[in-house]
Amino acid sequence: MAEAKEASQTSELPPPPPVQFLEITCKSSGIVRRFAPGTKAGFAMSLINNKLDVGTPLALYIEAVKSGEEPVSFGPSSVLLSYGNGWKLQTVLDSQQGIKKREGAQAPKTEAKKRVSEPVFDFLYVGKIVLAFLFIFLLGGIFTLALENLPSLMLLINSSL
């Protein structure tokens, strides 16, 4: 009996050590980034996107993938975790969404990049600024005129009472 107990104890493997970090592969740059367990997906994605070169497509979200399995997507407030052997964390780019367009259906619109507007300098813009200054000076003149004539207006009101 003691031999059977000893044999069962030796056949049991110790539990695997806890995960020290999570590795996320950035699809646009190919670089693997490491994060602590418990990191939120939105934070990891923003760090990954901030370290990309200019012109490189930005990541939309993070997903766990394994061949033959349905991918698991992490929302921005989701906590990243490892699903075990064979599962890998990676970023998803706008071009990799894999949205299959059905007849009559439209893919959701997402903006991965912030658009930087170029400064617009045209005559309409200058005209609006000049008109705003004219109104400011006109309003200032009206108030100045009213304040200069305030004492005589007060005398007129007092004498009529």
The tens digit of pLDDT for each residue in 61-81 reads 899 898 888 888 888 888 888
User: Pick from 45, 79, 96: which residue ends a domain?
Assistant: 96
- Same domain, residue pair 92 and 127: no
Burial 123-143 (b: 16+ CB within 10 A, else e): eeeeeeeeeeeeeeeeeeeee
Q: Is residue 108 part of a domain?
A: no
Q: Please choose, from the candidates 56, 62, 70, the residue with its C-alpha nearest in 3D space to the C-alpha of residue 91.
A: 62
User: Taking the model in full, what pTM does it have?
Assistant: 0.47
Q: Is residue 44 part of a domain?
A: yes
Which domain range does residue 82 map to?
20-96
**What is the reported pLDDT for 22?**
83
The most confident of the ranges 4-18, 49-63, 145-159 is 145-159
Helix (H, G, I), strand (E, B) or coil at 157: helix
Residue 35 CB partners (closer than 8 Å, separation 6+): 21, 22, 24, 44, 80
Could you read off the pLDDT of 88-120 as tens digits, one per residue? Answer: 888 888 764 444 333 334 444 545 455 666 776
Task: Give the separation between CA 74 and CA 125, rounded to whole angstroms.
Answer: 45
- Same domain, residue pair 31 and 87: yes
